[in-house]
Amino acid sequence: MPTVAEPARPPGASVGTTEQLRRNNLSNILSLVHQGGPLSRARLTRMTGLNRSTVGAVVADLADLRLVNERMPERSAKAGRPSPVVHVDQGTVAIAVNPEVDAVHVGLVGLGGRVFKQVRVATANTPSAEQVVELATTAISDLLSRQDHSLRVVGIGVAVPGQVRLSDGLVREATHMGWFEQPLAAMFERSTGHPSWAANAAVLAMRAESTFGAGRDVDDLVYVIGGASGIGGGVVTGGRLLTGTAGYAGEFGHTFVRPSGTACQCGGHGCFEAEVTQQRLLDSVGLQAAQADQLSAALAESTNPDVAVLVAESLDLLGIVVRNAVNLFNPSVVVLSGFLAALHSAAPDDRALIGEAIRSARETVRVQDAALGADQLMVGAAEIVFAELIADPSGFLAS
């Protein structure tokens, strides 16, 4: 007879035993080197507050796991014995996959966030989930075989333009791809043998930005990105990624901005992403979808009053989204990305965006544009894999 289930909620951080303590220290130090680049052991000591000898032991453990290696610095500025610099291992990589309407992107990303290689496999039509897995699997073995040194692949991260259940990587719906209830992570695991995760692309873009870009060292961050397939976003609060109960949090694209507005693909009305689209802005200045990166310049150069009206109107609606977000999340930074960054650069100041947020929250928030370029999604997709590795380095590699 099974015993009565306890409220299994692990109270507080799950660090109760000495074993978990060491795991935590391994995790923290690996995380610092992953995010902060090469760091001397002396700096790690100061940053963690641990003892010199402890840091030495932990770094030695990480080196045994081939996750980091130590090198003596070439030049040392200050007096005293030089401290060995801890680098992330260059042979440990994650594979990033990003299916799109007309192509599949596949990349090789090293621990530390460097994109080593990247390919774009074009498709004739919008690919099915099965096709994406097949194309990506081929591309992956191709990428790996062309590599000279042998790499250790720790897993696959897939960035999907749609809603993904984090627990098992099930794509609930990706309307632009025409996908519904596709167990994408499981499909990748079966096809490649590598442990796989999938998540919403906008959330992963934010992860990249939050770990390596404009949101670095920001504990309370709101990120909104606009692309060809709509508007998404993600939130970091208290230094932690906001996922919600299943991973669907951060859908800024479906914020209500206009009563009885255009019908949205989601079934609702007045959604932000139904009212403000990249296509409409591109059309207004006569650009093609492929020229989205020129939107900011084109908007700045335009003297067409119709464009000015469209921009003003779009900024107003973006302002509603940002205002709501500032009131709800009280972030220190709001990052705008994709065509929303272009829209932002067309605004005379940030008053249209945050002017109507409550004063207390408004005063300490700043709006800025994304810092990362095209690699963004590759880095973000790899990051879901690395996050798992970093959470429990030795446990992850043992399994």
- The residues that touch DNA, with contacts defined as CB under 7 A, are 16-19, 21-22, 24-25, 40-42, 45, 49-58, 72, 75-76, 78-84
Beta bridge partner(s), residue 269:
263
> Does position 15 bind its own copies by CB under 8 A?
yes
Query: CA distances (Å), 314 to each of 16, 77, 266, 339, in order?
Result: 51, 51, 20, 11
> Does position 56 bind its own copies by CB under 8 A?
no
* Token representation of residue 324: 């709501």
> Does position 332 bind its own copies by CB under 8 A?
yes
* Token representation of residue 283: 């059309």
CB of 203 to DNA, least distance (A): 31
> Does position 73 bind its own copies by CB under 8 A?
no
CB of 67 to its own copies, least distance (A): 16
Q: Which is nearer to its own copies, 42 or 144 (CB)?
A: 42
Query: CA distances (Å), 340 to each of 121, 201, 253, in order?
Result: 27, 16, 12
Residue 371's binding partner among DNA, its own copies, none (Cβ under 5 to 8 angstroms by kind) is: none
CB of 224 to its own copies, least distance (A): 11
How far is it, in rounded angstroms, from Cα 329 to Cα 380?
22
How far is it, in rounded angstroms, from Cα 55 to Cα 326?
39
Which of 105, 207, 323, 344 contacts its own copies by CB under 8 A?
Answer: 323
CB of 111 to DNA, least distance (A): 21
Amino acid at 163: Q
CB of 155 to its own copies, least distance (A): 20
Q: Which is nearer to its own copies, 252 or 339 (CB)?
A: 252
Give the angle subtended at the CA of 104 by the CAs of 99 and 110, to the nearest 5°: 90
- Sheet harboring 221-227: ordered strands across? 240-241, 230-237, 221-227, 333-338, 366-369
How far is it, in rounded angstroms, from Cα 382 to Cα 359?
38
If you search the block for the tokens 């025409």, which residue do you land on? 178
Q: Which is nearer to its own copies, 136 or 361 (CB)?
A: 361
Could you say which residues in the range 216-245 bind its own copies, by CB under 8 A? 217, 219-220, 235, 237-240, 242-245
Q: Which of left, alpha, beta for 38 (phi over 0: left; psi -120 to 50: alpha)?
A: beta
Could you say which residues in the range 161-220 bind its own copies, by CB under 8 A? 163, 165, 172-173, 217, 219-220
Residues 112-151 as x/- pattern, contact with its own copies by CB under 8 A: ----------------------------------------
Residues with Cβ within 8 Å of 309's Cβ and at least 6 positions away in sequence, in order, are none
> Does position 11 bind its own copies by CB under 8 A?
yes
Amino acid at 73: P
CA 187 from centroid of its chain's CA atoms: 22
Residue 138, φ and ψ in degrees, nearest 5: -65, -50
CB of 355 to its own copies, least distance (A): 8
> Does position 32 bind its own copies by CB under 8 A?
yes
Residue 141's binding partner among DNA, its own copies, none (Cβ under 5 to 8 angstroms by kind) is: none
Stretch that binds its own copies, among 1-9, 79-87, 128-136, 275-283 (CB under 8 A): 1-9
